[in-house]
């Protein structure tokens, strides 16, 4: 069973200093047990944010490596079809709602799999609600 589509904003709130709160921490336990789905860009996006955090001195190289190892241990399944849908379904959602294609890839996956979206970002949450998809978290 898969619990949700996991936005990088939630996963990064679990691991970056000063970004966590109770809702994402509770969701971490749920994802560890039931798993989550992510679009193909998720590994790149999360690694890039961690690299930027390291470059800004928010985390160390060792912390970045540990975070990536920890995330890799979670039952997170990368969807193999996200890239193929970027020019069609995801692009339609992005253009109709004024979102980036990156943010919309999470919504497209949630709609396609019939799963709730777990995100901390305002715009994707508002768009998800407008499209009738379920949301997890605050």
Give the residue extent of every domain in the chain. Answer: 4-136
Architecture of the structural domain at 4-136: 3-Layer(aba) Sandwich (3.40)
**How big is the CA angle at 104 (ends 99 and 105), to the nearest 5 degrees?**
150
CB 85 within 8 A of CB 107: no
Full-model pTM:
0.85
Note the pLDDT tens digit of each residue in 14-51. Answer: 888 776 665 677 888 899 999 999 999 999 999 999 99
Note the pLDDT tens digit of each residue in 50-81. Answer: 999 999 999 999 999 999 999 999 999 999 98
């Amino acid at each position: 069973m898969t619990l949700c589509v996991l936005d990088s904003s939630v996963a990064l709130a679990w691991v970056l200093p000063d970004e966590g709160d109770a809702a994402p921490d509770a969701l971490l336990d749920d994802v560890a047990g039931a798993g989550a789905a992510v679009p193909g860009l998720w590994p790149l996006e999360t690694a890039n944010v961690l690299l930027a955090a390291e470059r800004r001195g928010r985390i160390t190289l060792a912390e970045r490596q540990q975070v990536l190892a920890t995330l890799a241990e979670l039952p997170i399944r990368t969807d193999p079809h996200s890239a193929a849908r970027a020019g069609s379904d995801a692009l339609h959602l992005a253009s109709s709602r004024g979102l980036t294609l990156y943010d919309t890839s999470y919504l497209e996956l949630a709609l396609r799999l019939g799963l709730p979206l777990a995100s901390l970002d305002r715009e994707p949450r508002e768009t998800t609600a407008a499209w009738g998809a379920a949301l997890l978290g605050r």
